[in-house]
Every structure is written in structure tokens, then in C-alpha cells.
Amino acid sequence: MTAPTYDLGTLHGGLRLDPHKTESTAARLQQMPVPAQLVLPLTQHVGEPAQPLVGAGDVVLKGQPIAAAGTALGAPVHAPTSGRVLAIEPWPVSRRHGDPAPAIVIESDGLDQAMPIIPGALSYQEYSPEALRAHILDGGIVGLGGAVFPTAQKLAQAVSGPLDMLILNGVECEPYISCDDMLMREHADRVVSGARILLHAIDVERCFIAVESDKPEALLAMAEALGRAADERLILKQVPTIYPSGGEDQLVQLVTNREVPTGGLPSDVGCVVQNVGTAAAVDDWVSRQEPLISRVTTITGPGIAQPMNVEVRIGTRVADLAAFAGGYTDQAAQLIIGGAMTGKSMSTDEVPIVKASNCILLLPAPPPQGPELPCIRCGDCASVCPVRLLPQQLHWYYAADDEAQLREHGLLDCIECGCCDLVCPSAIPLTASFRRAKGRIRELEDEKARAARARRRFENRQQRLATEREERNAELRRQKDNAKRAGPDAIAEIMQRKQRTTDDRKDDLDDDPNDNRDPKP
């Protein structure tokens, strides 16, 4: 028995790109041995860095929590193998464009000894949805499609409003990346089990699993797994092979014909989207007590000897992964973490694999770039924009540094897919310009927020000072009334005391720039 699939409509805009995926999907999914050293950055998720629970010299076991979620928007980090903590020190990481960030360095002991399994653990059906979401957080699960938003918090945010649908994203539309394809081919049952757990965590009764039409092996494997599960809540849907159909908002529209509002989230139209890799990681944790300590990563491109997909431990350095894949070729001139369209260029292969690392791409040196020419207003960029923006207009407003018009014309809705760059006959780097403009807008918003905080501190200080003055005056009036009954000498003494107090405290009360205390109640 197999589950049915359905062809969906077309995506507005987008491009049909050379996928470059057969190179890495020719062989089966590989298992990389644990390297001698692992580097675990504390920032592997959206939000504040995790807080270390270990120190240099500590012995750890595989799966042991080594860093706790620092804030409500965070996720813990677990030891990917057993060994000893060498240091907590700055290390270059891909999510900060190669800039150093704090990381826990573990020396493997070669034993790969795991934490003891807790006997009698609950099945997911025995949890309440709220308790299940909290349990998912304990496993360090984040979105493995690239955004790495903590899964538990994303689910909690989604259920705060009307919700009727879960969508599992197996589209993987960006060239070169094939980790989700291989995961679905070889571990479809894990994905299906994870989908059922996620349905329980958000208490809805419908899940669409979306797969691109150019992945026949993955579609067949998922259909067979759904047939074994025999769960009518799970429906396999086929989406057109066009970039960027895997974008979250674009996928919601393809699957449901609902349009996510400007500045909104899929939950605003009753949907929550999770990556198929995230679903498999949820199943690993909830069903087998295995936290997120490994992931499937594609390593590919002309610059690597043996392109492949690898189940690799989090914290493995790119240099070690490249050695496992046969080493670099003489064409390896660019190292990109992520896909060819949205990946980040790295200057060192010492960066570790993190939860977001879906692809390691080794490319030749880029061809010489032609000169940037003036915009000819051809409209090609608008025709391919999946968000229905007018990139040519945004380009003019960017050049004029017109923040108001950039906002009005939807700059913040730009998903930075790069389609407009590929079709621009004038070779204008539109995406890079829009990325800079969004960064500038965020800086201005931060400046406004800082100014508002400073204004509130000033107003609080003024209110506190006024309250203190009123309290002092009331006390002096009380003393003066008492002194009237005591005689003229007591009145003179009170007036002298008032003058001394005013002189002594004038500077402290009116001129202290660091006095930011809140007003007294």
C-alpha cells in the first residue's frame, strides 16, 4: 500500500536551475567516524548563545548536555561523543561569517560511550502537547533547514493562535544540496514517525509532506513509509521543481493556497512548517533518547574528490569532513557553507559542522565579473521574484538611501534568494544591496530602541527625583509644624538644615549621568 501524491500548481517567479545533485546522490548515505577533536559552538541557533555546563578538564559522555539554553529563545548543546573538554575558547564559525565565537572543544576518547538510557521513558502519546514541546527542547532540536529556530519555541508560538496544519518541508530546491533527499530515501520511517510526534505536540490532525517532483526515489520511499504507518492524517504532496519553492512562505502557498501576510508567519494562516530533517531528529530524541548530536550533510562540488552525503557528528571540522570525502581537488578555490544561491563563503576549513550545516560546497574560482552597468528597467528581476517585489524600484531607493520607500516597497519581505541577480542583464548585485539595506534598517531600528530606552531612563530619573523632593519637602513641613510648637530656635535650626541638605545634594541629584535608577514606588 502506498500513499497517493498530488501535483500542485506553479510558483510565481522563480527559476529552473541546474540542480547539480546527481554527483552527491550517486552513492548511499555514508557514516563518518568520530574525529579526534570536536568543536561545539555555543551559538547554533537563533537567539542568545547557550551557557556552558562544563569546564576544561571535565569528562563527558555522548549525549550529555554540555551547554544550557541561555534564554527563552535558545537550545541546549550536547556532547557528540565521549571524551574530555580541552577548552572553551573562541573559534571561527559559519553562522558568524567565519568570525570567532565561543565554542567547547572536546577531545574524543575513541570509546563513543553514551549516556545511560532512561528505563521506562514515556512514549510521545503519554505526554501532553505542552510537556512534549518542553521535552523536544531538552533534546536541543532546532530547524535543520538552515534557519535553526529552536523547534519547541516555534511550535509554542504556532499554537498560540488558530492552527490546523503541519507541513514537512522536503523540497530542497537549492542547487547542490541533497541531504534531505538522501535522508528521505534511506530513513523515511524516521521522518514519518517524527511527523506523528510533531502532530501530537501541536494537537492538529493534518500533515502534508512536500517533496519536489525531481526526487522520484525520495517520493517512492516516503510513499512506502506512509503506507506502513497507515495514518490518514499524513498526506504526501509533490511540488514543482523550481527555485525557490522550498522557501517557507512559498511552500505554504503551494501546498495550501494561503498567502502569508507581509511581515507575518505561516502560523498567521494556520500552518507551521518544519524540515524533514527536523522531524527525523525529533523522532531520534523522543523515541530513542538520542539528542541532536549529528546530522546529514552534503559535501559536493568540483573541488571535492568524492561528493557524497554524510551522517556527521556536530562539531566535526570541515577539514576532517573533506578528508573523509577524498580530499580537495585542484579546482577547490571557494569554500561555501550552504548552497550556491544563499550559502556563506568561508576563508578557513577549520569551521565546524553545526546544526545549520546542510551543505559544504567546494567550487572553482568564479569567472571574471563583467562591469556593473546602469539599470535599463527591463523588468526581468520583477518577473522572477517569488515574493512579487519590484527589485528595480528597490535598487533606485537603495541608491537614494530612502528608507521609507524601501519599507513601503517591501524590502523586508525580500528572502534574498538571488533570482534577480541571475537574470539582471546589467550585472547589478541586487541581493547584496538589499542585504546591506536591510542591515541598515535593522541598525536604525536598534538606534531608535536605544534612544527610547534612554528616554525612559531619563523620565524615570526625573520622576524619582520629583518624588524624593516631595518626600523631603513633606518631611520638612512636618518638622516645621512640630518646631512651631517648640519655639523660634527650633525653626531656625530646621531652616539651616534644609539649606545644608540642598547644597550637599544638588550635584548628585541634578548632574549624575549614571543615575538610571527606577523611580521609587
Report pLDDT digits (tens) over 69-92.
987 789 999 999 999 999 999 999
pLDDT tens string 436-484: 999 889 888 888 889 999 999 999 999 999 999 998 888 888 877 777 7
Q: What is the pLDDT of residue 303?
A: 98
The residue behind cell 501541536 is 202
Q: Position of cell 570509546? A: 111
CA atoms 507, 511, 515, 518: torsion sign: positive
From its phi and psi, is residue 301 left (phi > 0), alpha (psi between -120 and 50) or beta?
Answer: left
Residue 20: all three cell numbers together: 547539480
Query: Which residues share a beta bridge with 126?
Result: none
Residue ranges of alpha helices (H) inside 105-165 are 129-138, 151-158
- pLDDT of 47: 84
CA–CA dist 184, 189 (Å, integer): 8
pLDDT at 98: 60
Q: What is the mean pLDDT of residues 113-140?
A: 94
Question: Would the pLDDT of 509 be above 90?
Answer: no
Mean pLDDT of the chain, nearest integer: 90
**Residue 7: predicted pLDDT:** 54
Residue 255: CB atoms within 10 Å: 22
Supply the angle between the helices 276-288 and 188-202 in degrees, to the nearest 10: 80
Cα separation, 215 vs 186, whole angstroms = 13
Predicted TM-score of the model (pTM): 0.84
For residue 510, pLDDT over 60 is answered with no
Give me the pLDDT at residue 262, please.
Answer: 85
Under a CB-based contact definition with an 8 Å cutoff, are residues 133 and 83 in contact?
A: no
Least confident of 4-8, 120-124, 159-163: 4-8
Lowest mean pLDDT among 178-182, 253-257, 279-283: 253-257
Instruction: Name which residue leads in pLDDT, 513 or 247.
Output: 247
* Domains present along the chain, CATH in parentheses: 22-300 (3.40.50.11540), 308-363 (no CATH)
Q: Average pLDDT for residues 195-209, to the nearest whole number?
A: 97
Sign of CA dihedral 374, 380, 384, 389: positive
Cβ atoms < 10 Å from Cβ of 279: 29
